Amino acid sequence: MLKENFVEFIEKSIKSNWTIDALADYKGISYTYSDVARKISRLHIAFRLAGIKKGDKIALIGKNSASWGITFIAAVTYGAVIVPILPDFTVDDVHHIINHSDSKILFAGDSFYDVLDMKETPDLSVIFSLTDYNPLYTSDDSNLENIGEETDRLFNEQYGKEFGPDAFSVAKVGNAELAEISYTSGTSGFSKGVMLSHNSLIANIRYAHENMPLEPRDSIVSFLPLAHSYGCAFEFLFPFTLGCHITFLGKTPTPQIIMEAF
């Protein structure tokens, strides 16, 4: 059992690296650690409005991006369970994973939302755009049609212009709690959900801190699938806890694109 608490590790990194670059999209937007904190805090308010409780499942599908990473961190630091879905899964697989995991809300890249059939995912109360976090869909019985505006109002009411490191905090979540359900590629039928605890995530991060040659403020390019455990742990969570600047490729990693990104 490791002494470090995973969500506290995340919180400490954000506060310690407040003003430096954190996450970026290749040839796109870049966020500092303070920007990430602001978006996480806003998402936590949205989760509360959507009725999400500790241990509830939040599904996530989209290409690698800074907003994907922010959504992942927001979910696990809230005490929810993130359910990343590989973007190359068929739409039937996506419907199955959402239902099988008992996910209550979904974050989706716009192109992925366009192919979903809401009749196949009746338990989803709201689907958020992974581009701007605005709601793309709300169920008829959820009363969440104004969740975006209400989130903005409550964030401004709670923080106003006084959003600094001391204002940012996350929930206390034990390392034994479930953090993620990672679905396999389903070579023997429908994909299977592998349950990963906070202990599992922090164990990989601690290993990387002790054995992988990165330093705070280093810049890295991330292109392995974030919905896979290896890419998520070693190209995202580990460098994030170290205070690195991570650029997500978000494209097919051809040699030319990789060289340009570097």
Q: Provide, rounded to the nearest whole percent, the portion of the chain with pLDDT above 70.
A: 97
- pLDDT tens per residue, range 54-106: 999 999 999 999 999 999 999 999 999 999 999 989 999 999 999 999 999 99
Q: Is the pLDDT of residue 189 over 70?
A: no
Band the pLDDT of 188: cuts 50, 70, 90. Answer: low
- Per the rule left: phi > 0, alpha: psi between -120 and 50, beta: everything else, 103 is beta
Which secondary-structure segment (H or E) carries 23? strand 21-25
pLDDT digits (tens, 9 = 90+) for 115-150: 999 999 999 999 999 999 999 999 988 889 899 999
Confidence band for 1, pLDDT divided at 50, 70 and 90: very low
Residue 230 has pLDDT above 60, yes or no: yes
Measured distance CA(62)–CA(88) in Å, rounded: 9
Average pLDDT, the chain: 93
Q: Could you give the CA distance from residue 250 to residue 77 in angstroms, rounded to a whole number?
A: 24
pTM equals 0.95
Task: List Cβ neighbours of 132 (8 Å cut-off, separation of 6 or more).
Answer: none
Q: Which residues pair with 194 in a beta bridge?
A: 182
Amino acid 262: pLDDT = 86
- How deeply is 35 buried, as exposed, middle or buried, from its count of CB atoms within 10 A (0-12, 13-18, 19+)? middle
| pLDDT tens string 239-253 | 999 999 999 998 888
**Is residue 202 predicted with pLDDT exceeding 70?**
yes
